[in-house]
């Protein structure tokens, strides 16, 4: 009997190990593929020209593969959408976790989470059909599909991420800390600002960075509404071509194994490095400021 039990345990352990190995192997193979498909580009284009070249003319003769304008496009949409989404997401989170009545929170929380499940193509479609004409009329700009429109739509995509993760962090601040603050004669607002937020800052930062990493990696929204012009924008109403949009738009058109093909993989690699950096910063912050929480003895 005992022998059987041991064998079963061992079999189960090996099964889990096997499954883990399979997932990790596939992921590493994808990464390896990304690297091997990018490398050939650098036989003809220097890394410096690739990263800092202003001109992206992949189909011209001779072709130019400078992705600076794509990187800047990606960074701008990410930054502008964050500037919109962070205050909105964070304040909603504070409202839900600290201010709203239980009933109110019960109604609003699922709605926020439902927003997170909106397919990005729906958001893109909305930006294209509703926001774009609105921008053209309101601001009298020639193109409604531009940096601002894409940032706005991305912001609404990442608000649920920021809100829902921050809300969890704020909600997990021990009641004992809030009581301690209130018992000293602090108002509810002072307690939120000086105790609750500092105590949940690591979770909030993680939420913000994961939201940003979602924004920089998002493809469909920027493909549909960023405008698609590979240029360095001078106004927020200029069209841009963020990295994912460029890859998605061009991959189907390019001959397999050509220079352009490798350049798109290299763009994907750059994008991967960006999202990896975001995630590493998130992990670092959540480690550094890990909530120590209630005093332990």
What is the DSSP secondary-structure string of 145-156?
A: SSHHHHHHHHHH
Q: Give min distance, CB of 205 to another protein, in A.
A: 15
Q: Give min distance, CB of 101 to another protein, in A.
A: 8
Cα separation, 77 vs 178, whole angstroms:
37
- Residue 133's contacts (CB-CB under 8 Å, 6 or more residues apart) are 144
Say whether residue 163 binds another protein (CB under 8 A).
no
Say whether residue 177 binds another protein (CB under 8 A).
yes
> 147-171 and 102-116 helices cross at what angle (nearest 10)?
140
Q: Give how far the C-alpha of residue 123 lies from the chain's centroid of Cα atoms, to the nearest Å.
A: 15
Task: Answer whether 127's CB lies under 8 Å from 153's CB.
Answer: yes
Q: Give min distance, CB of 103 to another protein, in A.
A: 10
Cβ nearer to another protein, comparing 87 with 293: 293
Cβ nearer to another protein, comparing 205 with 264: 205
Cβ nearer to another protein, comparing 176 with 280: 176
| 181-220 residues near another protein, rule: CB under 8 A | 181-187, 190, 194-195, 198-199
| String of contacts with another protein for each residue 50-89, x by CB under 8 A | ----------------------------------------
Count residues binding another protein (CB under 8 A). 27
Q: Give min distance, CB of 184 to another protein, in A.
A: 4
Which of 118, 179, 253, 276: binder of another protein (CB under 8 A)? 179
Say whether residue 292 binds another protein (CB under 8 A).
yes
In order of 81, 217, 268, 279, the CA distances from 276 in angstroms are 19, 11, 12, 5
Say whether residue 91 binds another protein (CB under 8 A).
no
Cα separation, 277 vs 297, whole angstroms:
37
Cβ nearer to another protein, comparing 198 with 258: 198
Q: Give the residue among 261, 236, 262, 240 at the shortest CA–CA distance from 251.
A: 261
CB atoms within 10 A of CB 90: 20
Instruction: Return the H-helix or E-strand segment holding 103.
Output: helix 102-116
Cβ nearer to another protein, comparing 60 with 102: 102
Contacting positions for another protein (CB under 8 A): 101-102, 174, 176-187, 190, 194-195, 198-199, 291-297
């Amino acid at each position: 009997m005992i022998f059987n039990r041991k064998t079963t345990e061992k079999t189960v352990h090996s099964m889990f190990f096997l499954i883990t190995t399979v997932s990790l192997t596939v992921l590493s193979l994808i990464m390896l593929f990304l690297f091997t498909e990018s490398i050939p580009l650098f036989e003809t284009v220097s890394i410096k020209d690739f990263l800092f070249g202003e001109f992206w003319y992949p189909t011209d003769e001779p072709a130019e593969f400078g992705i600076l304008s794509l990187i800047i496009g990606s960074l701008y949409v990410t930054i502008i959408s964050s500037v919109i989404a962070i205050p909105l997401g964070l304040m909603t989170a504070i409202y839900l976790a600290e201010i709203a009545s239980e009933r109110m929170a019960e109604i609003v929380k699922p709605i926020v989470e439902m927003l997170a499940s909106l397919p990005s193509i729906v958001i893109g479609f909305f930006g294209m059909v509703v926001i774009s004409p609105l921008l053209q009329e309101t601001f009298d700009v020639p193109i409604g599909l531009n940096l601002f429109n894409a940032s706005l739509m991305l912001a609404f995509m990442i608000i649920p991420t920021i809100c829902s993760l921050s809300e969890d962090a704020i909600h997990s601040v021990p009641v004992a800390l809030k009581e301690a603050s209130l018992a000293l004669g602090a108002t509810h607002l002072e307690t939120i600002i000086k105790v609750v937020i500092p105590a949940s800052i690591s979770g909030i930062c993680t939420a913000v960075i994961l939201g940003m990493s979602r924004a920089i990696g998002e493809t469909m929204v920027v493909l549909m509404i960023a405008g698609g012009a590979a240029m360095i924008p001078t106004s927020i109403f200029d069209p841009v071509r963020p990295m994912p949009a460029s890859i998605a738009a061009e991959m189907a058109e390019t001959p397999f194994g050509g220079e352009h093909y490798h350049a798109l993989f290299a763009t994907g690699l750059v994008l991967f490095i960006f999202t990896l950096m975001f995630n590493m910063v998130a992990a670092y912050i959540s480690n550094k400021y890990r909530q120590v929480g209630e005093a332990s003895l």
